[in-house]
Chain A
Amino acid sequence: MAAQAHAIDYDPERNYDEDTLAQQREIEKEIAESQPLISSLFTFDDIVEEYTREDEVYRHKIENLKTRYANLRKTRGDGNCFFRAFGFGYLETLLSNPTDYQRFLEICEKSKDELIALGFPQFTLEDFYDTFIDIVKQVKNPGQLEKLLETFNDQGLSDYFVVYLRLLVSGFLQKNEDDYIPFIDGERTVKQFCSQEVEPMGKESDHIHAVALTKALRVPICVEYMDREGQTCNSFMFDPTESPEESSPKPALTLLYRPGHYDILYPL
């Protein structure tokens, strides 16, 4: 009844965008209160309960994952999960890998000037970069896992980190425009795609985002796709190397994809 009355009262000159945004904020708040940005470690027995007992396909796949992975961390379903899972998961591996840390730091330090050269506004870019690089530098010293977890669960810091990763993806796609234009749907330029689907917070990541991020930072990742097809998860390797000779078959980190969402997997 109420909904109907509302429809009749529709006023074309009233701004309903704000109502929609307010409703969206309510939903976001509910999710934020129930899910941490990056969770502590879970076992697969914890997530098996998320599926009904009748759901044989998923249960079977989880059993299979258990033969290869020990734990997982869940990320908040806020549209930024791919970037946050990548960011936390990869920095966590750097805590025990000083060689890779050095390599990664150099790439990150170079990225700022590259993005400015591509036309990103220096003033705001620097703001994100400063926070981003401070967080990267946190993992220079081993044993900082608790602090890293705290940082990634601080909404402000964690989101700044995600923004910078989004800008890296946008920059990479714009720099390699010719290679990626065939993968962009609709009548959009790469720049338009980036401003609509990459840079805004909360826009979900697709295959193209994962390709660009892993190539921009030269970090190989594996994604285990868990959907209703087949008997086991499909694993897909995002390998940033161009030629087979130098390809590194070992992923730096593995993510679990369930339709619409990424979490972090920890091998046995």
Chain B
Amino acid sequence: MTTPARRRLMRDFKRLQEDPPAGVSGAPSDNNIMLWNAVIFGPHDTPFEDGTFKLTIEFTEEYPNKPPTVRFISKMFHPNVYADGSICLDILQNRWSPTYDVSAILTSIQSLLHDPNPNSPANNEAAQLYRENRREYEKKVAAIVQESWNDDEDEGEDEEDGEESKAGS
């Protein structure tokens, strides 16, 4: 039976295909509409430029009334991203509005790459370098941008299974 969450996710997917925002993409995994794979391309004029960062988005039946769980599976170095890839972003927690859709989620995360918030750090080292040593910060980010390409090569062959465990390590 189709539920409001599943119906809405189909609509989100349709919209994302018809009217894709620049620099992000996403789609439900093959056999489960509640689990999506997404990619955010590092925004221009930021140290993340040219990176291809993979994420998973996990929805519950309460979507869109509750936010999904979003996690980077590509390695990330950013003041607001935890070591396990989860993201400290207000709209994914207490400021979630049911009017957000997948497109809005991905573009918000994209702009977080642009504008980190070093005042609520999830990664202390990244936050400190961002504030005090921008050059070193950019060097560390450049390293994970490089790594994000390796991810692609690794996963080209086995897209279907085991992607999460492999990329997450």
Binding site for B on A (CB under 8 A): 12-15, 17-18, 21, 120-121, 123-125, 127-128, 131, 156-157, 159-160, 163, 166-167, 195-196, 199-201
Contacts and interface: CB of A to CB of B under 8 A. Distances in A.
Interface of A is mostly: helix
Contacts of A131: 4
Contacts of A159: 4, 62, 65
Given A13-B82, A200-B95, A160 B101 contact: no
Given A13-B124, A128-B98, A201 B65 contact: yes
Contact of A124 (B3, B5, B64, B84): B64
Interface in B100-126: 100-101, 104, 122-124
B39 interface: no
30 contacts: A13-B82, A13-B83, A13-B122, A15-B82, A15-B84, A15-B122, A17-B86, A17-B88, A18-B86, A21-B93, A121-B99, A123-B11, A124-B98, A124-B101, A127-B64, A156-B3, A159-B4, A159-B65, A160-B4, A163-B98, A167-B99, A195-B95, A196-B95, A199-B98, A200-B95, A200-B96, A200-B97, A200-B98, A201-B65, A201-B66
Contact of A199 (B61, B83, B97): B97
> Which 7 pairs of residues, A with B, have the shortest CB-CB distance?
A156-B4, A15-B82, A199-B97, A15-B86, A201-B65, A124-B99, A163-B98
A172 B122 CA distance: 36
A123 B15 contact: yes
Interface string B26-49: 000000000000000000000000
